[in-house]
Chains A and B, each alone.
Chain A
Amino acid sequence: EDQVTQSPEALRLQEGESSSLNCSYTVSGLRGLFWYRQDPGKGPEFLFTLYSAGEEKEKERLKATLTKKESFLHITAPKPEDSATYLCSPGTSYGKLTFGQGTILTVHP
């Protein structure tokens, strides 16, 4: 059975304090690892797709990396507007997109 675990559940940072979020997964036949951002009252918004171990993607202060069993979302010098819930989703066979429970990130000014 496909499983995905995100840690920590919640993370509080000061503005400028860099950190990382973790997504550990156990799936058969990974076809892509997706990261999403979700703001309160909104639907998740796509950030990155990673397809193979060693791959990295960057967008502003965010960088996503992928190993065979984990993905990390590194946040460098975060700002309050980076506060959101971050979701990861390993995609396997068609239509079966399992989501982690998310990490709630709060960045204080």
Chain B
Amino acid sequence: NAGVTQTPKFQVLKTGQSMTLQCAQDMNHNSMYWYRQDPGMGLRLIYYSASEGTTDKGEVPNGYNVSRLNKREFSLRLESAAPSQTSVYFCASSEGAMALHFGNGTRLTVT
């Protein structure tokens, strides 16, 4: 089983460019999450989706949008990238309030 798959693994953007980070899980989990991880800041929740058709803001949602495409897929979009969005982005899934299963991340650099 692949678990949680994120694409791309690496990305370099120029300020103002847009991109979509893709995430898919094959564990039939209802809940999916997007986190960013920065040195000294730990993991911070950007958006989450409790179930197909619902999304909610987390701790740091500004500058991001999400789409829960179906039960398997949850995408994160940066409409106009800024250097402050340079980070490692992790997608995760869970069944309800159980433990999270993470992908291996997308390393994004915005110049």
Contacts and interface: CB of A to CB of B under 8 A. Distances in A.
Contact of A44 (B50, B97, B100): B100
B111 to A, nearest CB: 21
Interface residues of B, number: 26
A43 B100 CA distance: 10
B24 interface: no
A83 B40 CA distance: 19
A53 to B, nearest CB: 18
Interface of A: 31-32, 34, 36, 41-46, 49, 87, 89, 91, 94-97, 99-102
Contact of B102 (A44, A91, A101): A44
B31 interface: yes
Contact of A101 (B41, B92, B101): B41
Q: Which 9 A-B pairs have the closest CB atoms?
A: A43-B102, A99-B43, A101-B42, A46-B99, A95-B48, A43-B104, A99-B42, A44-B102, A43-B90
